Amino acid sequence: MFYWPIAKITSLGFSGDWLATLSEPKILEVIWFTLWQAALSTLVTLVVAIPGAYLLYRKSFPGQSLIKALITIPFVLPSIVVAVGFTVFRGVHDFWIEFGLTFLSDPIYWIIAAHVFVNYSIAVRTIGGVWSGLDTEIDDAAELDGAGRLRSLLAISLPQLRPAVFSTAALVFLFSATSFGIVLVLGGGQVQTIETAIYFSATQFLDLESAAALVFIQTLITAAAFLVGSSLAKGTVGLEQVFEGTRKPRVDKRDWPAAVVTAGIVLGLLVMPMLLVLVEAFKVGDGWGLRNFANLGTRGARDLLNISVLDAAANSLRNMVVAAGIAFFLGTLISWLLVRTRQKLLDLVFLVPLGVSSVVLGFGFLVSFNSSWFPLRSSWLIVPLAQALIALPMVIRLVYPALVSIGKEPIEQASLDGASSWQIWRFVESGMIKGVLLTAAGYAAIISVGEFGASSFLAYGSEGTIPTLLFRLIARPGEQNYGMAMAVSAILIVFVLLVMLLLSRYSRYKQA
């Protein structure tokens, strides 16, 4: 399902002279920009995510799980909603410009900020998931010896976290390098990355030669990022099973640098745009009220919508359960098999799709699959199946490194003790990477909830989802439609928040 459409696209453009396309100065510029903006986005994300991971996974304080859930929301917000939310920074932005920081008027800085906004949670969660499994004894000993927090971070934790940090870096780099909506919307269509260039050549100019050349380059970059990421992430961490809440120390005064950075990012960058969207949802004319939500119950002005928001939410929920279930099951199984077989090539085959652009995939589907390929098209199942496919590489990408980091020892030990593979998984492995498994299930769920591309092709009429409803509304003029679109965004935000909160509840319940 991944490789066929991509092979098809590439073969359509194969006749052309790739090298000529690739050596055009404009294309080179696009490639260079893609690389450096992704690298910068990754660097900034990591720098702010490490203190966040420390506070949220290594320490305990009230409201922690709410914050963990909150930071995940941006990951699924449609780019137009991100753009609406980011208008909250206009005032600050104008102030900086007045202040003389005119370089900030370049949309590139908005794009990078938005990449941090979207990817912060994935970095915090993947690094934090591993960090919470690290032994605290060395830290404690260092503290007794008078080492400060920063020093023990640099000398003890970071080297231990190296694999997690590098595999997270590879992931964030890929998401930033292939991000489409954010670059398009915040860049006004004037800032080009490989991804937007593919979109313009393929769908606007029908220039499949250039598109194929760019797809080829993008696939190379994806593969390279994984190879570099995984070779730097080598080594096992020796995780041990931890029980959340029992051993984690409370936040204390000496954690203030981490607290300041994290509070700044969470409140200043992540929460403000979402708050603006919530505020807009309750704005009615010059006053406030619930009219936008009330309107949603009625299929909109003149029956613009085929379906009420409640039905759409029910569809989204149903799709989420099916898609996340399939993606989580298959993804965990594939990761487990990958660890057992240790096949480098197989590894790549399953991981590369994550970096392949949705634009390419969408266009590949367009040219590859006719009706006989999608016989399920008339069934609602097709949407969650497609979403499961989209979420699958993400699950693998999260679970696989965690399984690798367990190392061989505990497994060999258990198998010497006569445990079957299933028993080892059930009692040893799954317990050790429980946090990661939960994160993977959570992301699979919210990828399905926020997914728009596949649904817009496949879910119509009474099968609409929350995001398809949102796009239908925001594509029409009028105060009422805009208000309803914001109300739908607010519902999406609350929906994701609840899903993430329920998941963490569930995990704590399981432990108890």
Partner 1 sequence: MKKLVSLLAGASLLLASCAPADQAATKVTLVAHDSFAISDESIAEFQEASGFELEIIRAGDAGSLTNRLVLTKDSPIADVVFGIDNTFRGIADENGIIEGELFPVDYADVCFNYDRLWFEKRGMTPPASWRDLTKPSYNSLTVVTNPLSSSPGLAFLAATVAAFGEQSFEQYWKELRDNGVMVAAGWEEAYFIYFSGSSGNGDYPIVLSYSSSPAAEIRENGKSQTAALLEECFRQIEFVGTLAGASNPEGAKALVEFLLSESFQNTMPGLMYVYPVNEKAVIPAEWSEFGPAANSTMGEDLSIATHREKWQTKWSAIFE
CB of 337 to partner 1, least distance (A): 6
Using DSSP, state whether 398 is helix, strand or coil. helix
Nearer to partner 1 by C-beta: 60 or 368? 368
CB of 86 to partner 1, least distance (A): 9
CB of 320 to partner 1, least distance (A): 19
Q: Do 380 and 315 touch, CB atoms closer than 8 A? A: yes
Nearer to partner 1 by C-beta: 231 or 370? 370
Q: Do 357 and 198 touch, CB atoms closer than 8 A? A: yes
Closest CA to 442 of 500, 507, 391: 500
E-strand stretches of 357-466: none
Closest CA to 396 of 344, 445, 333, 448: 333
Nearer to partner 1 by C-beta: 193 or 504? 193
CB of 316 to partner 1, least distance (A): 18
CB of 53 to partner 1, least distance (A): 32
Nearer to partner 1 by C-beta: 128 or 362? 362
Integer-rounded Cα Rg, in Å, for the chain is 23
Nearer to partner 1 by C-beta: 97 or 498? 97
Helix orientation angle between 107-131 and 158-177, rounded to the nearest 10 degrees = 140
Residues contacting residue 302 through CB under 8 Å, at least 6 positions apart:
none
Q: Do 483 and 286 touch, CB atoms closer than 8 A? A: no
CB of 48 to partner 1, least distance (A): 26
Secondary structure string (H, E, C) spanning 43-111: HHHHHHHHHHHHHHHHCECCCHHHHHHHCCHHHHCCHHHHHHHHHHHHHHHHHHHHCCCHHHHCHHHHH
Q: Do 70 and 197 touch, CB atoms closer than 8 A? A: no
Count of CB atoms within 10 A of residue 64's CB? Answer: 18
Distance between CA 229 and CA 170 in Å, rounded?
A: 5
Nearer to partner 1 by C-beta: 255 or 463? 463
Q: Do 275 and 170 touch, CB atoms closer than 8 A? A: no
Nearer to partner 1 by C-beta: 135 or 209? 209
Q: What residues make contact with partner 1 under the rule CB under 8 A?
A: 12, 80, 83-84, 87, 90, 184-185, 187-190, 200, 202-206, 280, 283, 285, 301-304, 306, 330, 333-334, 337, 341, 362-363, 366-367, 370-373, 375-379, 456-457, 460-462, 471-472, 474-483, 485
CB of 185 to partner 1, least distance (A): 5
Nearer to partner 1 by C-beta: 60 or 456? 456
CB of 485 to partner 1, least distance (A): 8
